[in-house]
Amino acid sequence: MANRFHFQLRTGESNRSDTHAIIAIISGAAILMWPELVYYFAGGYLLAMGLIFYFFGAGSVITVLSVLSGVFILIFPEAIPFIFAFFLFFFGFSLLISIGFSLMAIIPLSAALLLLIFPNIIAYIIAVFLLIFGLFVVASKRESALTM
C-alpha cells in the first residue's frame, strides 16, 4: 500500500504566523531541554525564520538579516548574545514601526536588552523569549478568530 503526501504552501499572513509560532515554540522548548546546544537551536531558528520570510514574501531586509544572523551564530557561537540581540533589536524596531507600540514589539526589544545585560544566562533568555513570542502569536490569532 502506497502512502502519498502533499504539501502546499499558501502565501498569506495567517500561514506565516502559524509557522513562525510553531517553530518558535519548538525551538524554545528544545533550548530549555538542552541549554548547552543553544547556538545550534538559535542559529537554526534564525535560518528557519529567514526561509519562512522568504517563501511567504516578507521584506527582504528582515529576511537577509535573519539568515545572516543565523549563519554568524553557527560560525561564531561565542557571540550569540550580541548577534541575537542585534537581530531582536532590529526585529522589535521593525514591529514597533509597522504595528505601533504594542506588546508584540515590546517582547523582542526587552529580550534583546536582557541579552545584553545578562549574557551568562543566554539560553534561558532566548528560550523564554521564543516561548512567550510563539504563545503570544497563537493567542492573538485565537483572539482575532473569536472576534470575527
Residue tagged 513570542 (cell numbers): 133
Measured between its terminal Cα atoms, the distance across the chain in Å is 43
- Measure the CA angle with vertex 30, ends 28 and 35; round to 5°: 95
Cβ-Cβ contacts under 8 Å for 21 (sequence gap 6 or more): 133, 134, 135, 137, 138, 141
pLDDT of the residue at 6: 47
Q: Where do the domains of the chain lie?
A: 13-147
Rounded distance, CA 142 to CA 128, Å?
A: 21
Rounded distance, CA 52 to CA 6, Å?
A: 18
pLDDT of the residue at 83: 92
Closest listed residue to residue 90, CA positions, set 64, 72, 71: 64
Alpha helices in 56-121 (DSSP H): 60-75, 80-99, 103-117
pLDDT of the residue at 98: 82
For residue 83, the 8-state DSSP code is: H
pLDDT 10s per residue in the chain (148 long)? 555 644 444 445 556 678 888 888 998 999 999 988 888 999 998 998 888 888 877 678 888 899 999 999 999 989 999 999 999 999 889 888 887 777 778 888 999 999 999 988 899 999 998 899 888 888 876 665 556 5
